[in-house]
Amino acid sequence: MTDARHHRIAVAGAGGRMGHMLIEAVSASTDCQLTGALDVAASPAIGMDAAAFSGQASGVLISADIRQGLQNAGVLIDFTRPEGTLAHLKVCRELGVKLVIGTTGFSEAQKAEIAAAAKDIAIVLAPNMSVGVNVTFKLLEMAAKALSTGYDIEIIEAHHRHKVDAPSGTALKMGEVIAGALGRDLKDCAVYAREGITGERDPLSIGFSAVRGGDVVGDHTVMFLGTGERIEISHKSSSRSNYAQGSLRAARFLAGHSAASLTCLTSST
């Protein structure tokens, strides 16, 4: 039985690092209840209690059966990979389960699939659920407008060795926010790689650099480099807990939206 007073949450990727953090956050909250836990069929966590990693018992077993995992859920929180998220999206759409998506690395076609599903269910899509990153985006928009000429813009991000996409979704969103503030299209001005004789830097370009290694949760720095000075705006995550708490805020937000809609936060790593 589920408690009508609680937001009924299912977690995708329940056996992974982010899944564990989400389950801990749901368990610690006073208004959310874990009703489902999903992972890929090959995961060693399949069949285990979703909170077993913490020495606790949630009463929810991790399953590879998407329908089973979603049968009692009002919202699915998904920080997996694009292919997995789209598989979950299809079933969420059929069952009327709302969706918080923190997955990154979507192609334009995959984003279009999410937008199409949002005609039937409410969805929050964000490359980063951190409240601090949301604030950082606002600061970047202000800085870009104030430093629109005479400053070169570079975005540097660092993540753990297991991250499979680059640049990070957060870095790309930073570029989109900056480009939008400057009246540019990121597709036309982004530079993702430099090697060999590259020639002088195009003053209208926005450069990206990605670092992968160790257990870095997520660091992002934007540099505005002028003549004789530079301004750096950084956000550094020391724990995934901020992503988890932001995801619960998004789930609560969806609880007040019964109509189909897509909310793309200007802020998943």
The residues annotated with a catalytic role in the active site are: 159, 163
Please list, in sequence order, all residues whose beta carbon lies within 8 angstroms of the beta carbon of residue 172, skipping any fewer than 6 positions away. Answer: 127, 186, 208
Amino acid at 116: A
Output the CA torsion sign for 178, 182, 185, 188: negative
Q: Which long-range contacts (CB under 8 A, 24 or more apart) does 137-143 make?
A: 137/173, 137/174, 137/177, 137/266, 137/267, 138/266, 139/233, 140/174, 140/177, 140/178, 140/181, 140/222, 140/233, 141/177, 141/178, 141/180, 141/181, 143/222, 143/224, 143/231, 143/233
71, with CB counted inside 10 A (0-12, 13-18, 19+), is middle
What pairing do the DSSP bridges indicate for beta strands 206-212 and 32-38? unpaired
42, with CB counted inside 10 A (0-12, 13-18, 19+), is exposed
The position carrying tokens 């609880």 is 255
